[in-house]
Amino acid sequence: MSGVRTLAGIVCVLALATAAPLEARNLTVADVRRIAGQAEQAAQTLGQSRYTVAVVDRVGNVLGVYRRGGASVVTLASGLPVRGGLEKISSSATGLDLAALAAIAKAVTGAYLSSSGNAFSTRTAGYIIQNHFAPGVRFTPGGPLFGVQFSQLPCGDVVQTRNPGARTTIGPRRSPLGLAADPGGFPLYKRGQVVGGVGIVAGARSTYGLDLNPRRPRADLEERIALAAATGYRAAPAIRADRITVAGLRLPYSSSDRQIPRVSRRTPLRAKPIAVAGYTTARPKSGRIIGRIGSGLIRANARNASTALARRGAFILENGRGANRYPARSAAASTGLSRAVVNEILQQALGVANQTRTQIRNPRNARAQVSVTVVDANGRILGLARSADAPLFGIDVAVQKARTATFFSRPDSAARLNRVPAHGIAGIRIPGGAGRVNATRQLLGNVLNGTAFSTRSIGNLARPNFPDGIDGRRPGPLSNGSTWSPFNVGLQLDLVQQRVLRSAISPTRPLRSCTIRPLGLDNGMQIFPGGMPIYRGNRVVGAIGVSGDGVDQDDMVAFLGLQRASRSAVVRGRIGHAPPQRRADQAGLRYVQCPQSPFVSSNQQRVCDGI
């Protein structure tokens, strides 16, 4: 019986996803007010006189932040007994309105991680970024999206307006605190399509952290309010994270399903919208419609991109006036990365994605949807394209991955890291890069001098234990080991921490780069799979970055996409993968891992071996 129900649900989702044109839905001001009103009722029901609710659209525009009872005192704390990084930063000590920032971050996370095939909440995010997957299970490797919390950063160049200082209206938008792992953020749906997200911070004191022990789940106050707020906009059960498995593990969505306060859509809203500097004014807005100019995302066509990309059904980032923010362009001539080559890589990667089985989307065996980018060896974006319904967070992450792969694969990576000095902000000491270089050398020898690192390989080095997940083993050289926490991960945070905090303190003066020295990692580095360096012969000339429907899928789309491009008539082998003897798997790290049952329309396995 319930099999029939599930099937019916899936069919409905499918029907809605295909019947309704993708560009048709958005959150109106009335929707925003309704959601805020439902949050208010739920908070009242639960006896909470102090709360902040943020509503964003799918591309991260903050549509409204409502508050009653003043700002909650928010402390960033993972719950692990460690210090350092962003741990223990609190609104009381810094004077920041962390309640509003945290609510926005949660709302953005709900919107960005979800699609019409998967609804992920901030609880889901908290599950996939921990040092073990499943969290709390010893000896298991880290979560598949380990490190994703430091994407969509408030500094950087991708999720940012092109004109710093101007009123920012173009998505995808930054998140003030990166992606949130603290329960209380959910995606919002209208007729099966993600139209935004809602985030709640409630209580006189609120900890912005994560559920370290999701295997003993407890209902969460903010989650209960957020679910009540999302009444009428909730995800279909068939696409919720708890119907999606990764490596056999079912992802959590909510642990408060049975304790959602009842709300009415007619009860008038009493809370007033507030302005959050750098994010929203005190006037609620309606959400952007993806695909229309002004949303930041439009369908690729021959004029704004290329016919090949248009044929792949790609979307591109637009600048608010319909122009492609990242049209394919050539790197220096010696690199071999001409405009045509970049276009070929992008379209081949999307071609692979269109064949690839998604890992995080229902119905099962759907095609993967991803964001793909190509950068040059300096981290400059040479082109970016994405599938229509790929989760939004992948845009920024794909660029992070590509930049990370090329940064570490350059022969001078050790030297460039060594030049990052120890620094600080507001009394927080941030270590430089030299210690990481030394630790890496101690573990693996002199590998930071031209070894080809994928972001999977870098991820192997950036886990709190090496090998990943094996408790008691020494820390990964790019990680903080015993003082690791999701707020204190190691090099990934060290490189961006100062700029992240500065952006929180001065949100109206956005920074174009998150690093204090130019490293070609302007929007931060990323430490989970999906980025591969591009070589011309023995020389690294750039990288491809992919992010979307599953990390092994990201890996494979990047790996096979680059491989196919390399063999295409356009490229003719001028560029391609790192020579096998240069790859990090020669040094004991994984270079790439393609998923089980990789393709939707065949039962092939092991499609990457020997490449």
Partner 1 sequence: MVSATTAKVLRARRMLRRSLVGAALVMWGVSTLADDAPMQAPAAPQPVAERVQVLAARIVVRAAPQREARALAEVERGRQLPVLAREGDWFRVRYGTTPRAVGWVLRERGAYDQATVELLDGVAPSLMPALDAALPESSPLGVARPGGSTVRAPVLPLIDPSQVSPPAPNLPRESVPLPDRWRIMQALGFGFPWFDPYNQNVLKGDLPLTRFGPDIFFNGIAVSDTLFEYRTLPNPVPQAVSFRPGANDIFGRRQQHVVATTLLAGFSVVRGNTTYRPPDWEFRILSAFNYNHARASEAGVLRIDPTRGRGRQDEFVGIQEFFYDYHLRNVSDRYDFDSIRVGIQPFTSDFRGFLFLDQALGVRLFGNRLNNRLQYNLAWFRRLEKDTNSGLNTIFKTPRHDDTYLANVYFQDFPILGFTVQGTVLHNRNRETRDHYDTNGFLVRPALVGDVQPHAYYVTYFGFSGDGHLFWLWDRLRLNLSTSTYLALGRDDRHPIAGRAQRIFAGFHASEISRDFDWIRLRANLLFASGDSDPFDGDANGFDAIFEAPQFAGADTAYFIRQGIPLIGGGAVAFSGRNGILPSLRSSREQGQSNFINPGLQLYGVGADFDVLPQLRVTVNASYLRFMNTTVLGVLRQERDPHREIGTDLAIGLQFRPFQNQNVVLNASGSMLVPGRGLRDLYGPDQGPLYSTFANAILAF
Residues that bind partner 1 (CB under 8 A): 1-3, 5-6, 134, 136-141, 214-217, 242-250, 252, 357-360, 364-365, 460, 463, 466-470, 473, 552, 559, 580, 583-597, 600, 603-611
Cβ proximity to partner 1, 321 vs 609, nearer residue: 609
| Beta-sheet strand order (sheet of 51-57) | 185-190, 193-202, 51-57, 62-68, 272-274
Cβ proximity to partner 1, 209 vs 252, nearer residue: 252
Bridge partners of 534? 542
Cβ 256 to partner 1, closest distance in Å? 14
Contact 513, 114 (CB under 8 A): no
Cβ proximity to partner 1, 49 vs 605, nearer residue: 605
Cβ 14 to partner 1, closest distance in Å? 14
Cβ 400 to partner 1, closest distance in Å? 21
Cβ 394 to partner 1, closest distance in Å? 18
Cβ proximity to partner 1, 79 vs 588, nearer residue: 588
Cβ proximity to partner 1, 259 vs 597, nearer residue: 597
Cβ proximity to partner 1, 137 vs 204, nearer residue: 137
Cβ proximity to partner 1, 120 vs 315, nearer residue: 120
Cβ proximity to partner 1, 101 vs 360, nearer residue: 360
The rounded distance, in Å, linking the Cα atoms of 428 and 88 is 11
Cβ 304 to partner 1, closest distance in Å? 34
The rounded distance, in Å, linking the Cα atoms of 430 and 510 is 21
For residue 366, give the nearest of 22, 116, 604 by alpha carbon. Answer: 116
The rounded distance, in Å, linking the Cα atoms of 608 and 593 is 8
- Cβ-based neighbours of 379, under 8 Å, separated by 6 or more: 402, 403, 406, 407, 519, 520, 521, 522
The rounded distance, in Å, linking the Cα atoms of 85 and 87 is 5
Cβ 422 to partner 1, closest distance in Å? 29
Contact 497, 86 (CB under 8 A): yes
Cβ 215 to partner 1, closest distance in Å? 5
Q: How many CB atoms lie within 10 A of CB 286?
A: 16
DSSP H helical segments within 375-515, as ranges? 393-409, 413-418, 434-444, 455-461, 491-505
Exposed (0-12), middle (13-18) or buried (19+): which is 574, by Cβ within 10 Å?
middle
Cβ proximity to partner 1, 69 vs 217, nearer residue: 217
Q: Alpha-carbon Rg of the chain, whole angstroms?
A: 22
Cβ 399 to partner 1, closest distance in Å? 24
Q: How far is CA 306 from CA 310, 343, 384, 592, in A?
A: 6, 7, 12, 29
Cβ 241 to partner 1, closest distance in Å? 10
The rounded distance, in Å, linking the Cα atoms of 454 and 439 is 19
